[in-house]
């Protein structure tokens, strides 16, 4: 019996997603003169953006743009090859040195994306005969990397160090405990001090994906380990992304000399891909200098988070326990999340609805930025107050 054509099978699957209110649609973002630092044209509508990961407001900083423009004139548009061939320029090397110094580690190595950094790191460190314990709410790239590694994978209850300890049973050749530092959808922090203690007692290696903590949390924005009062060496490896707090693109892994050299030799997502453009590395180094020098950005961000949480509590909104710029507002169902997001968009506020399978509970993922003004937060709260479906039952 002949099977249905691929297009027909795929169309049926898409129709099922649509019926379940789980279909994702892209919006086209533009820019125009006169827009504020936290505004964009979204499908032609002027909107305040409350769903970006540009936590420090550096993505459109003119100093970062100027550094990129200068480097483009010097280096051209692309790297022209992988890091191990022709692509590792002086700009890349200088950025790696700056990131290592910021992270307090001996070395750092650049990857083209955060997803590739996690794939390369985990698969280079673990394989058959090894064990990986992962938080159930880890980023998809960490979960995918563990599966791809061929190691035995054990997931533990979210942010539960005692549960993690039970997963690190003896018998494996090498054991990794892998966690996000700040969880991208809930905005809460991993219990890194307790997890580091588990690793010390059980001889495991702690690996932290600090994509949403790097540059934002901890003294000087030095990340989740610093926020937990831990030395950088408490983790065997830390992953940071450059497209969030620093507003550019790419990622890095920081660790000791042997770790970084192992990744250069064994991480397939590093070896077999083109290096990021040198101009991106130059812009990132400029952004890192600004992030280090301008502490007011983190101070302002913390004040905006407190303002939003205080106002949301007064309105009876269903928040999650997060002190980071990621502030989820629970919506109850995919349909309710979509309706709330659409209503906010009509009011000129762009807030993304996040639905299963990305999360278990549908929500609005509100994110705050140092580019926002207090009045922007107040405007969002006023709009949320007009959406009674988001409020907790009395």
pLDDT score at 45: 92
pLDDT score at 389: 76
pLDDT in tens, 152-162: 999 999 999 99
Residues 253 and 138 placed together within one structural domain of the fold = yes
Residues 174 and 300 placed together within one structural domain of the fold = no
What are the backbone dihedrals phi and psi of residue 29, each rounded to the nearest 5 degrees, phi first? -100, 135
Structural domain contains residue 382: yes
CA distances from 181 to 70, 131, 214, 260 (A): 34, 20, 9, 20
- Six token digits for residue 127: 């394989």
* Whole-angstrom distance, CA of residue 23 vs CA of residue 94: 42
Domain termination site, one of 243, 263, 293: 293
pLDDT band at 222 (very low <50, low <70, confident <90, very high): very high
pTM: 0.94
Structural domain contains residue 41: yes
Average pLDDT over residues 224-234: 98
Residues 261 and 357 placed together within one structural domain of the fold = no
User: Which entry of 244, 269, 322, 372 is annotated as an active-site residue?
Assistant: 244
Per-residue exposure over 274-283, b if at least 16 CB sit within 10 Å of its own CB, e if not: ebbbbbbbbb
- Cα 27 to chain centroid distance, Å, stands at 20
Structural domain contains residue 9: no
pLDDT score at 274: 97
pLDDT score at 2: 61
Residues 99 and 164 placed together within one structural domain of the fold = yes
Structural domain contains residue 2: no
User: Which entry of 212, 224, 322, 341 is annotated as an active-site residue?
Assistant: 212
244 is catalytic: yes
User: Which entry of 184, 224, 322, 341 is annotated as an active-site residue?
Assistant: 184
pLDDT in tens, 256-278: 999 999 999 999 999 999 999 99
Nearest to 268 by CA among 145, 381, 370: 145
pLDDT in tens, 69-91: 999 999 999 999 999 999 999 99
Residues 220 and 268 placed together within one structural domain of the fold = yes
pLDDT score at 394: 45
Residues 285 and 301 placed together within one structural domain of the fold = no
Residues 150 and 259 placed together within one structural domain of the fold = yes
| 251: pLDDT strictly greater than 50 | yes
Per-residue exposure over 192-228, b if at least 16 CB sit within 10 Å of its own CB, e if not: bebbbbbbeebebbbbbbbbbbbbbbbeebbbbbbbb
- Considering its fold, how many domains does the chain have in total? 2
CATH number of the domain that residue 366 is part of: 3.90.1150.10
Residues 217 and 87 placed together within one structural domain of the fold = yes
| 1: pLDDT strictly greater than 80 | no
Domain termination site, one of 293, 319, 351: 293
Domain termination site, one of 237, 272, 293: 293
pLDDT score at 169: 79
Q: Which residues contact 77 (CB under 8 A, 6 or more apart)?
A: 277, 279
Structural domain boundaries enclosing 328: 25-54+295-390
CATH number of the domain that residue 119 is part of: 3.40.640.10
Structural domain contains residue 14: no
3 is catalytic: no
212 is catalytic: yes
Q: Which residues contact 40 (CB under 8 A, 6 or more apart)?
A: 29, 30, 31, 46, 47, 49, 350
Structural domain contains residue 20: no
pLDDT in tens, 364-390: 999 999 999 999 999 999 999 999 778
Residues 281 and 313 placed together within one structural domain of the fold = no
| 338: pLDDT strictly greater than 90 | yes
pLDDT score at 371: 97
Residues 285 and 159 placed together within one structural domain of the fold = yes
């Amino acid at each position: 019996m002949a099977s249905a054509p691929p297009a027909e099978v795929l169309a049926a699957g898409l129709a099922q997603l649509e019926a379940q209110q789980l279909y994702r649609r892209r919006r086209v973002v533009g820019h125009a003169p006169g827009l504020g630092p936290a505004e964009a044209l979204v499908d032609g509508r002027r909107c305040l953006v409350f769903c970006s990961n540009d936590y420090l407001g550096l993505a459109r900083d003119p100093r970062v743009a100027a550094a990129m423009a200068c480097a483009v004139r010097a280096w051209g548009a692309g790297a022209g090859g992988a890091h191990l061939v022709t692509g590792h320029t002086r700009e890349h090397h200088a950025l790696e040195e700056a990131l290592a110094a910021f992270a307090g580690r001996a070395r750092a190595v650049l990857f083209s994306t955060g997803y590739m950094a996690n794939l390369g790191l985990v698969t280079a460190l673990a394989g058959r005969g090894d064990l990986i314990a992962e938080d159930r709410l880890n980023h998809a790239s960490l979960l995918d990397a563990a599966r791809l590694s061929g190691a035995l994978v054990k997931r533990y209850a979210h942010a539960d160090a005692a549960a993690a300890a039970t997963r690190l049973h003896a018998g494996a050749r090498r054991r990794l405990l892998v966690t996000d530092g700040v969880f991208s959808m809930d905005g809460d922090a991993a219990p890194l001090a307790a997890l580091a203690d588990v690793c010390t007692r059980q001889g495991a290696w702690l690996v932290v994906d600090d994509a949403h903590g790097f540059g934002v949390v901890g003294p000087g924005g030095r990340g989740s380990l610093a926020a937990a009062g831990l030395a950088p060496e408490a983790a065997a490896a830390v992953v940071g992304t450059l497209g969030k707090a620093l507003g550019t693109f790419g990622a890095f892994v920081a660790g000791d000399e042997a770790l970084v050299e192992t990744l250069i030799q064994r991480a397939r997502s590093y070896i077999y891909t083109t290096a990021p453009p040198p101009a991106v590395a130059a812009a990132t180094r400029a952004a890192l200098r600004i992030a280090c020098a301008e502490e007011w950005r983190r101070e302002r961000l913390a004040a905006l988070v407190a303002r939003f949480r205080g106002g949301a509590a007064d309105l009876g909104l269903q928040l999650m326990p997060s002190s980071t710029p990621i502030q989820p507002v629970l919506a109850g169902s995919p349909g309710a999340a979509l309706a709330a997001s659409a209503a906010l968009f009509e009011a000129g506020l762009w807030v993304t609805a996040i639905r299963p399978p990305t999360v278990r509970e549908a929500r609005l993922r509100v994110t705050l930025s140092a580019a926002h003004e207090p009045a922007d937060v107040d405007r969002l709260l006023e709009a949320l107050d007009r959406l009674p479906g988001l409020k907790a039952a009395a």
